[in-house]
Amino acid sequence: MLKIVSNFVVVLLCSVSVVCAAADGKVGAQSWTDSEKSIVRSLWIGNLPPLPKDPTNQYADHPKAAELGKKLFFDTRLSASGQISCATCHDPSKNFTDGQALSRGMGQTRRNAPSIIGMAYSPWFFWDGRADSQWSQALGPLENGVEHGGNRTHYAHVLGSDAEYLRLYESVFGSFPDLSDVSRFPRQAGPVTDTSASLAWESMSSEDQNTVTRVFVNIGKSLAAYERTIIIGPSRFDRYVEAMDSGVVQGSEPLYTEEEKAGLKLFIGKATCVICHSGPLFTNHDFKNVATPGVKALGKDQGRFDGVQKVLNNPFNCRSDYSDANQDGCKELQFIKFTVDDTLGAFKIPGLRNVAKTAPYMHAGQFSTLAEVLKHYQKRPLTRLGHSDLLPFKLTDTELVQLESFLRTLNSDLDDSGLGVTVPAQ
């Protein structure tokens, strides 16, 4: 459905651009054309379809799996130091981000932590798309030395030693394996960069490795089940769309200022933002090279170009033995884009809901404010890597302010229809 909406928006964009451009920035007081209204309606949260099924995770909508996943999400025992949890970088009080340019767990990462709100609608995960499901994404940080820094047997032993975890696990996945023989199931073992843990893993039989990996995978599938409950709620923008449809867009306290309406017109027209930021989540889930400046200390980052190979080689991708999908259910991998122009220097297009609350921006937090991001698009710099997908547009300083004002109307609360996001008592 999102792709259909995106295509519809692109078809209408040309006619709308003519209307907006003719106004030369003084569009706030203008009435909406039928074409503009159609595009604005396509962005309304009411068009968000039900959560898509995840064929790779048969437990994705199991309430007990989500309950287990919620506990795991906030558990600092799932780290080498006992101080890092998923919520360290995806803090509910910060819209499931951490407010840092580069996230920090056991060490400093190379990427900014994106919000996970509404991510169940995405076909790809991480900035470079190196995971193709929420559960495989959740497993990556657990074994990453600078994030959680742990290993598979450690996590399995954490679950096996906790009565509440055992109760929830067995209510979803069946009997928990007997890991009491530490000569077979060492306390610290896994295919990780830590030499000691890696050697211990290699000493295990393939059967025992698979037993532990199944528990590890089920941790990921439980985390994904919880994250699927984290859905965005309506914003002031959505209330404005509803008012527009009812024919009552102004009252004693207008829903939108003239500046915000002008920014919305620019967003769907002259600024061409809606080409990539389309649909009710304000993203088409694609990858684009927008000439974001590099971070010298991090070296060259090829983005999606490397992400394609990583997802194809990911031991937990849709085609893996740990996926619940059949081969016909892995269309995203089957039709993945390989070309250099499509992937080199490209990063995932983020959704814009709550964008004003999730600074800093871009894959390595290169910009601290929305104003800096908009200035970057205004300048349209040359890319240092690959082919730039930036479209030419020229906005005045006043129009940039209008555009930012509109983006701030996308702030909203979380949908409370799921498990909610309350941090459990420590």
Q: How confident is the model at residue 415 (pLDDT cuts 50, 70, 90)?
A: low
| Range scoring the smallest mean pLDDT among 211-215, 246-250, 326-330, 403-407 | 246-250
**CATH classification of the domain holding 271:** 1.10.760.10
Q: Convert the pLDDT of each residue in 20-37 to its tens digit.
A: 333 333 333 458 999 999
Q: Are residues 36 and 181 in the same domain?
A: no
| pTM score of the predicted model | 0.89
User: What pLDDT shows up at residue 394?
Assistant: 87
In a domain, 266, yes or no: yes
- Residue 30: DSSP 8-state: S
| Single residue among 227, 259, 282 that ends a domain in this structure | 227
Q: Are residues 188 and 238 in the same domain?
A: no
Q: How confident is the model at residue 252 (pLDDT cuts 50, 70, 90)?
A: low
- What average pLDDT does the segment 175-192 reach? 98
In a domain, 115, yes or no: yes
Written as one string, the DSSP assignment of 339-383 is -HHHHTTBEE----TTGGGS-SBSTT--BSSHHHHHHHHHH-PPP
Q: Are residues 75 and 150 in the same domain?
A: yes
In a domain, 298, yes or no: no
Q: Are residues 221 and 238 in the same domain?
A: no
Q: Are residues 28 and 107 in the same domain?
A: no
Q: Convert the pLDDT of each residue in 53-88 to its tens digit.
A: 999 999 999 999 999 999 999 999 999 999 999 999
Domain span including residue 105: 63-227
Q: Which residue in 284, 274, 291, 275 sits closest to 375, CA to CA?
A: 291
Q: Are residues 195 and 240 in the same domain?
A: no
- What average pLDDT does the segment 405-412 reach? 96
Q: Are residues 205 and 259 in the same domain?
A: no
In a domain, 304, yes or no: no
Decide if 157 contacts 44 (C-beta within 8 A): no
The total number of structural domains that make up the chain: 2
* Residues contacting residue 419 through CB under 8 Å, at least 6 positions apart: 66, 67, 70, 226, 229
In a domain, 264, yes or no: yes
In a domain, 335, yes or no: no
Q: Convert the pLDDT of each residue in 150-169 to its tens digit.
A: 999 999 999 999 999 999 99
